Amino acid sequence: MNQSMWHASGPNAAYVRELGIFFGLLLGIIFVIVVGLALFSLRRRHRGIEQEALEGSHQASERTDGRLRMVVGIATALTVSILFGLTIVSVSVGKSISASAAPANSLLIEVTGAQWWWKIRYANDDPSRIIETANEIHIPTGRPVAIRGTADDVIHSFWVPSLQGKRDLIPGRTTLEWMQADQPGEYRGQCAEFCGLQHAHMAFWVIAEPPQQFNHWMDHQLQPAIEPADEDTKRGKEIFLQSACILCHAIRGTDASAQAGPDLTHFGSRKTIAAGTLPNSKGNLAGWIADPQNIKPGTHMATVPIRPAEMQPLIDYLESLK
């Protein structure tokens, strides 16, 4: 799992990593100096106490007080200067990343944060080529990706440590940043702004693929949901369309077209359930449908009354949506 700024796989993440290395080295040197001076002072005072009585050899004087004031003043000024300098460097790097415009050939992806999942939309001038998915972002390697972000409810923060710095997503406002993956891989992202009880369970994945493989994925995502191949999955489709599931979810190619929850057209191909909370398996999906509040308390996913005999066909249908 790639979720560390130390494993930078893109140009913007490399800037953040270099900033972290600079901070670490500088503060490490300062730590060694401070500890060294403290140990030197303790050793010197210990020797002085052993050699002669404290009352006779450590009398205060104006000269001593003056030296102490000078040392404290220099140390304070140096500390403030270093902290001020580090702040300037940090803000400068952040602004340079934020202000850098996405290259002209960028792929535009719209990301909307909501409690507690991510709506992903691949923008296109041709409405027939717009793709909507959830909690997973597929991108081509070596190509810049512009992220246009906003939030539906509270402030969220979009962060993929291995690819870019974090960016707050604010309701009513739109932010724009870009990232790029230089090599194929799966990079974990996380909401980095406390957004409620399930903040820790608001993750997503960025899957970087070679351009040809990415184009194949795009073409497949444009297709409607696969039709059931057997009686069991046909029954599952009927159960889905006759249940309250269609009040929140969409499956293209069917009568389900709601937008309140994640689009499920190709749900079966996703890695996780509930924004990274559980691996996508039949057992986990059954538990999630049966009692979402037990798995992710506070989630807006409603408990749908599905009879035991209906659960297996429903799960088989959803998992068939590759």
For the stretch 171-224, pLDDT in tens is: 999 998 889 999 999 999 999 999 999 999 999 999 999 999 999 999 999 999
**Residue 97 to residue 8: CA distance in whole angstroms:** 14
Print the domain residue range for 259. 231-319
Kind and range of the H or E run holding 56 = helix 54-57
And the tokens for 68? 């102490």
Using the 8-state DSSP alphabet, how is residue 6 labeled? G
**Residue 206 to residue 141: CA distance in whole angstroms:** 11
Digit-coded pLDDT (tens) for 209-242: 999 999 999 999 999 999 998 999 999 999 999 9
First-last CA distance in the chain: 23
Please state the domain count of the chain.
2
Q: Is the pTM of this model over 0.85?
A: no
Cα–Cα separations (whole angstroms), residue 127 to 121, 131, 152, 201, 288: 12, 9, 22, 32, 33
Claim to verify: residue 187 and residue 279 sit in the same structural domain: no
Claim to verify: residue 149 and residue 116 sit in the same structural domain: yes
**Residue 99 to residue 81: CA distance in whole angstroms:** 26
Q: Is residue 88 in a domain? A: no
pLDDT, mean over the chain: 88
Q: Which residues of 115-143 are buried (b: 16+ CB within 10 A; e: fewer)?
A: bbbbbbbbeeeeeeeebbbbbbbbbbbee
Query: By three-state DSSP, how is residue 70 classified?
Result: helix
**Of 280 and 58, the one with more pLDDT:** 280
Q: Specify whether the CB–CB gap between 318 and 240 falls below 8 A.
A: yes
| Per-residue pLDDT at 19 | 84
Of 222, 252, 278, the last residue of a domain is 222
Query: By three-state DSSP, how is residue 102 classified?
Result: coil
Claim to verify: residue 242 and residue 214 sit in the same structural domain: no
| Per-residue pLDDT at 181 | 93
Claim to verify: residue 10 and residue 142 sit in the same structural domain: yes
Digit-coded pLDDT (tens) for 8-51: 788 888 888 888 888 889 889 989 988 988 888 787 765 555 55
Is the per-residue pLDDT at 276 higher than 80? yes
Give the angle 168-270-185 at the CA atoms, nearest 5°. Answer: 70
Of 222, 248, 282, the last residue of a domain is 222
SS3 content of the chain, % helix, strand, coil (to 5): 45, 20, 35
Claim to verify: residue 178 and residue 121 sit in the same structural domain: yes
Is the per-residue pLDDT at 306 higher than 80? yes
**Residue 128 to residue 119: CA distance in whole angstroms:** 18
**Residue 113 to residue 282: CA distance in whole angstroms:** 26
Nearest to 321 by CA among 255, 261, 250: 250
Q: Specify whether the CB–CB gap between 158 and 114 falls below 8 A.
A: no
Q: Specify whether the CB–CB gap between 13 and 5 falls below 8 A.
A: yes
User: Can you give the CATH number for the domain in which 249 is found?
Assistant: 2.60.40.420
**Residue 30 to residue 35: CA distance in whole angstroms:** 9
Claim to verify: residue 213 and residue 272 sit in the same structural domain: no
Claim to verify: residue 251 and residue 169 sit in the same structural domain: no
| Per-residue pLDDT at 50 | 53
Q: Is residue 71 in a domain? A: no
**Residue 273 to residue 144: CA distance in whole angstroms:** 28
Provide the pairing of β-strand 156-159 with 167-169. antiparallel
Of 196, 222, 248, the last residue of a domain is 222
